[in-house]
Amino acid sequence: MNFYIIIPAHNEQDSIALTIDSLINQTLLPKQLVVVNDNSTDRTQNIVEAYTEKYSWISLVNSKSSNAHLPGSKIINAFYKGYETLDENYDVVCKFDADLIFPDNYLEQLSIYFGNNPKLGMAAGFCYIEKNGHWVLENLTRKDHIRGALKAYRKDCFLEIDKLKPSMGWDTVDELLAKYYGWEILTDESLHVKHLKPTGISYNKASKYLQGEAMYKMRYGFMITFISALKLAYKKGSFSLFKDYLTGYFKAKKKKIDYLVTKEEGKFIRNLRWKGMLEKLS
């Protein structure tokens, strides 16, 4: 099974070598690995170039964008810079972060899952972060949700959901659309991926309303947004985030920002969200 991997990287000199090394040591090697150096000002480019000289299946794309860390659009635009350099001879395409250390059998295990189930559209392991010398689950989302840091898509699923949306919420809407089109999603708790930088550590003030905006763009409606925002803020331990999320939702509604999904897809998403919430209460 052919795995193509794209890694957007911005100032990742402290981690990018660890990520690439963990992919070089896979029991099933990727066919292509593209690192997109997105406007880095450190040694990221030099580090990756050393790998491209040694491994023909590793390549580097240098891209210029703003220095602002705006979740969603920046990283997905960088992803497409890498995707555009690849051919279509892949079975699975992966968007990985540049601060991950994968277990040696990671890609091989994903290939087994994809090979055994033709309706499996997305699969991944779990992110773990270091706390007090121990690696613990980075528990920000449901265990059936694939984190944006380590997405792997079957080609047919990737194309049917119209690839990735350059917006905050891209790593939620992709799964919702996959389910809309009848694809299954799998997470394997036994695949422990070390996440060297906790999610959101570099988000800036300009991005604080984007989560609520994303909920609007996914056509959640107010009640689902309210519940989702409250739950996420609680997990992150900040009530001020709850207010930011709702502010972002209403700002987007006032501006009538374009949706990420159609009306029909939005209806499916709302029904799916309500079903999940009611199941937890029962």
**Helix and strand totals (H; E) in the chain:** 10, 9
Q: What is the mean pLDDT of residues 136-149?
A: 83
229 and 172 assigned to the same domain? no
CB atoms within 10 A of CB 247: 15
The torsion angle over the Cα atoms of residues 41, 31, 177 and 209, rounded to 10 degrees, is -10
pLDDT one-digit tens code per residue, 147-166: 999 999 999 999 999 999 99
The domain tally of the chain equals 2
What do you get for the CA distance between the two ends of the chain, in Å? 41
- Confidence at 268, pLDDT banded by 50, 70, 90: very high
Q: What is the mean pLDDT of residues 109-121?
A: 98
Of 107, 123, 84, nearest in space to 1 by CA: 107
Q: What is the mean pLDDT of residues 167-185?
A: 95
Give the integer Cα–Cα distance in Å for 100 and 128: 9
* Domain's final residue, options 195, 219, 253: 195
Domain that holds residue 258: 208-281
pLDDT at 176: 95
146 and 49 assigned to the same domain? yes
223 and 104 assigned to the same domain? no
Give the integer Cα–Cα distance in Å for 8 and 50: 17
Q: What is the mean pLDDT of residues 39-57?
A: 97
Tokens of 34: 């593209």
State residue 25 phi and psi, 5-degree precision.
-90, 15
Residue 53 burial class via C-beta count within 10 angstroms: exposed 0-12, middle 13-18, buried 19 and up: exposed
pLDDT one-digit tens code per residue, 17-30: 999 999 999 999 99
pLDDT at 270: 97
Q: Please say if the pLDDT value at position 232 is more than 90.
A: no
pLDDT at 85: 97
CATH code for position 135: 3.90.550.10
Give the integer Cα–Cα distance in Å for 172 and 148: 8
